[in-house]
Amino acid sequence: MSDNDTPETETDGGTGIVPPDDETPTWSERKERSQGLSRLTYEYFERARREDQDLRQESSYVERDVLGFPAWPHEMIRNLALSSFFIGMVLFLSATLPPEMLPPADASSTPSVILPDWYLYWSFGLLKLGPLNPELALLGGQKLMADRTYGVLANLVVVGVITIVPFLNKGSARRPVEQPFWAAVGVFGVVFAFTIAALSVKNLVPIGSHLLFDLTFLLPFVFGFITYAVLKSMREGYMFTLNRRYYRLRPPK
Amino acid sequence: MSLEKKDEHDHEGWMEERDLTAVEERYLAILMWLDKRLRLVDYLELLEDMYYKVNLQMPKSHTEQYGLDNKFWYWYPLYALGSFSTLAYLIAAVSGALLGFYYAPAAAASAGDPTVAYTSVTSIMVDLNFGYMLRSIHRWSAQVMTAAVFLHMLRVYFTGAYKEPRELNWIIGIVLISMTMVFGYTGYLLPWNQLSYWAGQIGVEMALSIPLAGEWVAQLMFGGFTLTQATLQRMYILHVFFLPFLVTALIAVHIGIVWMQGIAEPH
Ligand code: HEM
């Protein structure tokens, strides 16, 4: 076999095109060549990598916080198993409770009950908060804004508050018993969603409308307090068993 | 020695010396045909690389880590609600596409008769084979999706799954639930019956009572201050064009993020 017949000479397949392996810049070379934002990016990534590695080496996993639980297959297997029941439920409902068709639109006759679909009742209910719109003495008993503007703003406020929840309650994922306060806030919200929905259909609810209005704001607090009390009293026993399981397996240092 | 180089890339020869079943042979032939034209192998490598990067970052689940005997938390079935939302969305998409073959978004009507939109819905229900069931499936999957999304949000809230590093997914979720409701609202208007019409009226009034931008928003979303053909057409395009694209893309991003981060574990 002659010398010039080594595998290396064959890799270009006679085309003269050589794979750029040797010329591909390494990461640090790229970092050196780049400037400005891309340079900063490389520098940050290098730090982040080092941090990851250090954390992994130091870790003895005594703390209970685990970031995540693989979506596949752990979660999906169960979900797939439940899917057919779910689809069956949708088909069953469709077959047994078909929707009705109401009379055609008629701009000249207002129906006695005007309602959106049920999932918008909460928003519809917030439009009926007129009685809470303060009449400002400063404006001579005038309201600062029309009742309906007030209602639309109430919608925005509710959505806004839900949006910032992650920035109010920080830390790692916790069960409700471990955070009775936030669980109580959640129950308050859920109950309020239902009571405000009931308020929006007040002419269909067999309760006096003043009582209903008061209950709308009272019930959420009542249920919130009950939740707090129950969870707080459950907490000790619950955490005891939870911790016992952990520390039996991993005695604290 | 022969001047002829041995062909390293003789894939056919390679296939012959292997003992392949008919299925394997077909599969390889198709794969090679596509690979020659599209360089699939590059993309496969890319995908594989991504797959491992994404999956290797995943820490072991808590129960795996500690070999706990009790691997089941009674809340786990509620973790299926996100998937249920996706499923209901898919059912609604398929049934909705089929309904779209027969529905016409026209508010025109000859004197005294219902509008074209209204009659097209009634004819789906009355004349079309399986049409009533189709409409029923579309209605119910939409209702169930909204319920599932709301319950999913509660599950996320009560397990504290919205905390760092999942804030972004929470915010995407808020956008998704809002768009789900707008989906429902625009769909509610399409049959153009009494409730559709008057719910539309409320919508216009809500839009008008937004400070400063009110009239502009009413024009943009409802095509004017009263309900006309323009309103129906806008609702239709929102319902079958804008929202499907947006919601599908956002659900993909939402689930992609879950895939990368793993499901939060409140253990
Ligand atoms: C169209 C609506 C939605 C779809 C299709 C959807 C889909 C999903 C899916 C499939 C998951 C995986 C975990 C699970 O199934 O529980 C998930 C997780 C998550 N979703 Fe949604 N979701 C939707 C709406 C929402 C809403 C309204 C929120 C909250 C405001 C939200 C916040 C989250 C968060 C924070 C996670 C991560 C939870 C964890 O890691 O445990 N999503 N979503």
Residues of B in contact with A182 (CB under 8 A): 160
Q: Tell me if B60 is assigned to some domain.
A: no
- For chain B, the average pLDDT equals 87
Instruction: Give the one of A75, A109, A119 whose C-beta lies nearest to B263's C-beta.
Output: A75
B97 with B223, same domain: the answer is yes
Q: Give φ, ψ of B263 to 5 degrees.
A: -80, 135
* pLDDT reading at B62 higher than 70: no
Q: Which of A39, A66, A96 is the last residue of a domain?
A: A96
Is B197's Cβ below 8 Å from some Cβ in A?
yes
pLDDT tens across B134-172, in order?
A: 999 999 999 999 999 999 999 999 999 998 889 999 999
Residue A229 has pLDDT above 80, yes or no: yes
Residue B262 has pLDDT above 50, yes or no: yes
Q: Which of the four pLDDT bands, split at 50, 70 and 90, describes residue A237?
A: confident
**A19 — contact with chain B (CB < 8 Å)?**
no
Whether B59 is covered by a domain: the verdict is: no
A173 and A242 co-located in one domain: yes
Q: Select from A37, A63, A96 the last residue of a domain.
A: A96
Report whether residue B86 contacts ligand 1, using a CB cutoff of 6 Å: yes
Question: What is the percentage of chain B residues whose pLDDT exceeds 90?
Answer: 55
Do B207 and B109 share a structural domain? yes
Report the gap between the CA of B90 and the closest CA in chain A (Å).
11
Which mutation among B164, B174, B254 tests ligand 1's pocket best, with the greatest number of atoms within 8 A of CB? B254
The complex scores an ipTM of 0.77
Please tell me which residue, B248 or B66, carries the higher pLDDT value: B248
Tokens, residue A98: 């078909």
| Helices marked H in B39-130 | 40-56, 62-66, 81-100, 116-126
Please choose from A66, A67, A75, A164 the residue to mutate so as to test ligand 1's pocket, defined by most ligand atoms within 8 A of CB.
A75
Name the domain count of chain B: 2
> pLDDT-based confidence at A161, cuts 50/70/90?
very high
**Contact in structure between B106 and B90 (CB atoms under 8 Å):** no
Q: Is the CB of B88 under 6 A from ligand 1?
A: no
Binned at pLDDT 50, 70 and 90, residue A152 comes out as confident
Note whether residue A15 is domain-resident: no
> Could you list the residue range(s) of the whole structural domain that residue A221 is in?
118-249
- Assess whether B93 and B37 both reside in one domain: no
- Do residue B120 and residue B209 come from a single domain? yes
Q: What is the DSSP letter of B3?
A: S
Same domain assignment for residues B27 and B90: no
What are residue A135's DSSP bridge partners?
A143
Domain that includes residue B37, residue range: 11-54
Please say if the pLDDT value at position A143 is more than 90: no
A127 and A219 belong to one structural domain? yes
B234's CB contacts (< 8 A; 6+ apart) are B221, B222, B223
Cα distance from A102 to chain B (closest Cα, Å)? 6
What pLDDT score does A6 carry?
Answer: 47
The string of pLDDT tens digits covering residues B172-224 is: 999 999 999 999 999 999 999 999 999 999 899 889 888 888 899 999 999 98
Q: Are residues A79 and A156 in the same domain?
A: no
Q: Is B1 part of any domain?
A: no
Specify which of A58-72, A92-106, B72-86 reaches the highest per-range mean pLDDT: A92-106
- Check residue B52 and give its pLDDT: 66
Considering the domain architecture, whether residues A131 and A48 belong to the same structural domain is answered as: no
The Cα-based distances of A81 to A87, A246, B77, B92 in angstroms read 11, 30, 11, 20
- What percentage of chain B carries pLDDT values higher than 70? 87
pLDDT given at position B249: 98
Whether A154 and A60 share a structural domain: no
Q: Is B174 in the pocket of ligand 1 (CB under 6 A)?
A: yes
pLDDT above 70 covers what percent of chain A? Answer: 74
**Nearest residue in A to B85, CA atom:** A86
Residue A183 included in any domain: yes
**How many folded domains does chain A comprise?**
2
* Predicted pLDDT of residue A141: 63
pLDDT at B234: 95
pLDDT of residue A128: 83
Residue B35 has what pLDDT?
84
Confidence of residue A1 (pLDDT cuts 50, 70, 90): very low
